[in-house]
Amino acid sequence: MNRFLNGLVKSVTKTWDCAGPVLDVGAYLVDGQESLCDLRPYFPGKAFVGLDFRSGPGIDIQGNAQCLPLATGSIPTVVSLSCLEHVARFWEAAEEFERVLRPDGIALISAPFYFHIHNYPSDYWRFTPEAFELLFGGATTRILGWQGSAKRPLNTWVVLFGKDRPPLTREELLSFSQALNQNTPEPIGWFREMVYGILAKVLGRRVFSPWLDRDGWGFRAFGVAGESSFVGVSSKSPQLIQCNQPD
């Protein structure tokens, strides 16, 4: 969990109505990360259920992401950040997220790509944007995104919209991109940026891209009213680019 993902949740809630109850899968508040991991403040006045395989801070229900103890189509808002990499059969968890999501609901799921091994209790997987597209490509309306460089992302994420929600609009996507610019900056500090910048000029940018580009983002949206299924957004200027491309 990092500041970008925390800001991503805030950006989603600022752009779309996220009804309660809210289900947070992998909600355990890791020691020292409570301020980042506790998402309840972004859903004021709404029932919030924290689920994890272990009991502890932030947990209301113990359960397995591969077999959620909830009825089909019962949850209007599902959130799962930095959890799938710890799920042995992650594809089963992905199916469960979609199963419990209400037809008019919204889900936000993320996982790291460029990150050290972290055992809570074990760390099994990493996910490219294409991996998330394989997992969640069945959703008609979805936003597939990444933090940092598209080729060396720190995190990948997807916003899924239930089948009963209307298509996305360009206005929504612009509003979302503006919210991302406001809420997700994660600068590395001027000294480290200076050192990495100098080294990047000598050794090449690729090695240092995960740090130098961590303040950026991008996404592709599918299911946009009046457009083709692909929309890109620039992190430097919140304007839609590459519209009207084929699927």
**Rounded distance between C-alpha atoms, residue 113 and residue 68, angstroms:** 25
Q: What share of the chain in percent tops pLDDT 70? A: 91
- Residue 19 CB neighbours (<10 A): 16
| pLDDT tier, 233 (very low <50, low <70, confident <90, very high otherwise) | low
Pure H helices in the chain: 3-15, 34-37, 90-100, 129-136, 170-183, 190-203, 209-212
| pLDDT tier, 212 (very low <50, low <70, confident <90, very high otherwise) | confident
In this predicted model, what pLDDT tens digit does every residue of 17-43 receive, in sequence order? Answer: 999 999 999 999 988 888 889 999 999
Rounded to the nearest integer, the mean pLDDT of the chain is 89
**Rounded distance between C-alpha atoms, residue 83 and residue 53, angstroms:** 11
Rounded alpha-carbon distances, angstroms, from residue 151 to 51, 178, 209, 218? 32, 23, 9, 11
- Residue 72 CB neighbours (<10 A): 12
What is the pLDDT, as a whole number, of residue 136? 92
Please enumerate in sequence order all residues whose Cβ is within 8 A of that of 72, keeping only pairs 6 or more positions apart, or say none: 99, 100
Nearest CA to 144 out of 242, 227, 222 is that of 222
What is the pLDDT, as a whole number, of residue 140? 83
**Rounded distance between C-alpha atoms, residue 111 and residue 91, angstroms:** 13
How do the domains of the chain map onto residue ranges?
3-241
Phi, psi of 95 (to 5 degrees): -65, -35
Which contiguous run of DSSP H or E holds residue 142?
strand 141-148
In this predicted model, what pLDDT tens digit does every residue of 104-119 receive, in sequence order? Answer: 999 999 999 998 898 8
- Of the listed ranges 84-88, 108-112, 168-172, 229-233, the least confidently predicted one is 229-233
| pLDDT tier, 213 (very low <50, low <70, confident <90, very high otherwise) | confident
Structure tokens at 51: 């689920």
In this predicted model, what pLDDT tens digit does every residue of 38-92 receive, in sequence order? Answer: 999 999 999 999 999 999 999 999 999 999 999 999 999 999 999 999 999 999 9
What is the pLDDT, as a whole number, of residue 245? 38
**Rounded distance between C-alpha atoms, residue 204 and residue 129, angstroms:** 24
Is residue 227 pLDDT above 50, yes or no? yes
Pure H helices in 101-187: 129-136, 170-183
What is the pLDDT, as a whole number, of residue 246? 36
Mean pLDDT across 205-211: 84
| pLDDT tier, 229 (very low <50, low <70, confident <90, very high otherwise) | low
What is the pLDDT, as a whole number, of residue 142? 93
Mean pLDDT across 175-200: 88
**Rounded distance between C-alpha atoms, residue 44 and residue 173, angstroms:** 23
> What is the value of pTM for the model shown?
0.90
- Residue 245 CB neighbours (<10 A): 12
Whether the CB-CB separation of 42 and 106 falls below 8 Å is answered with: no
Domain at 3-241: CATH architecture: 3-Layer(aba) Sandwich (3.40)
What is the pLDDT, as a whole number, of residue 151? 86
Q: What share of the chain in percent tops pLDDT 90? A: 63
Nearest CA to 7 out of 57, 49, 42, 46 is that of 42
**Rounded distance between C-alpha atoms, residue 215 and residue 190, angstroms:** 13
Is residue 247 pLDDT above 50, yes or no? no
Whether the CB-CB separation of 41 and 52 falls below 8 Å is answered with: no
